[in-house]
C-alpha cells in the first residue's frame, strides 16, 4: 500500500489520505527495551460522518452496520500493534480499515421465496405414513381397544 495514495476499499470507493488521522503510540505488552522506547502501535481514525468518499446511502449503511464501532463524533478507530515495525503496523491498520468498510458496505442478496415441489410433499407424507405404520406395529393388539 502506498504511503501517499488513497486507501482503496473497492472499485468504487477510495478513502483519501487527508481524511485519515494516523497516530503512533507505544505498544503495550512484552518486548523488553525495544517496545519501551519505540512508538510502533498505530491508531487510524476516520470520520465517517464528514467523509466525502461516501454518499448518504453508504454512510447510513456503514453507521448502521458498525454502530458499536462508530463513536459520538462519527469516527471509526482501528488499532494495529501486531508487528515491531511502525510501517507494517500502519499498513496492517489501513488494510483492516478497508476490509471493515468493504464488509460493512456489502449488500446481502434478497431471499427468493420458494415452495416445496409436489414430489417433495408426496415423499414427505409417504415417509410420515411409513413411520406411523412402523410404530403402530410395535404396539400391542389390546392397546387399540
Which tens digits make up the pLDDT trace of 39-90? 888 899 988 888 888 888 888 888 888 888 888 888 889 998 888 888 899 9
Give dist(CA 80, CA 136) in Å, integer: 65
Given this model, what pLDDT does residue 49 score? 82
Q: Identify the burial level of 49 via C-beta atoms within 10 angstroms of its C-beta, where 0-12 means exposed, 13-18 middle and 19 or more buried.
A: middle
- All domains of the chain in start order, with CATH: 7-105 (3.30.160.20)
Give dist(CA 14, CA 33) in Å, integer: 38
With a cut of 80, say whether residue 4 has pLDDT above it: no
Beta pairing, strands 75-80 & 41-47: antiparallel
Give dist(CA 89, CA 67) in Å, integer: 25
Amino acid at each position: 500500500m502506498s504511503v501517499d495514495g488513497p486507501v482503496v476499499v473497492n472499485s468504487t470507493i477510495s478513502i483519501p489520505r487527508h481524511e485519515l488521522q494516523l497516530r503512533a503510540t507505544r505498544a503495550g505488552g512484552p518486548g523488553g527495551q525495544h517496545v519501551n522506547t519505540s512508538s510502533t502501535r498505530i491508531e487510524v481514525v476516520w470520520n465517517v460522518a464528514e467523509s466525502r468518499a461516501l454518499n448518504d446511502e453508504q454512510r447510513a449503511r456503514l453507521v448502521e452496520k458498525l454502530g458499536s464501532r462508530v463513536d459520538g463524533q462519527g469516527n471509526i478507530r482501528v488499532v494495529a500493534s501486531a508487528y515491531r515495525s511502525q510501517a507494517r503496523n500502519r499498513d496492517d491498520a489501513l488494510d483492516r480499515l478497508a476490509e471493515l468498510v468493504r464488509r460493512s458496505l456489502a449488500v446481502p442478496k434478497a431471499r427468493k421465496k420458494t415452495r416445496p415441489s409436489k414430489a417433495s410433499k408426496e415423499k414427505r407424507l409417504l415417509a410420515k405414513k411409513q413411520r406411523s405404520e412402523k410404530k403402530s406395529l410395535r404396539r400391542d393388539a389390546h392397546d387399540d381397544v
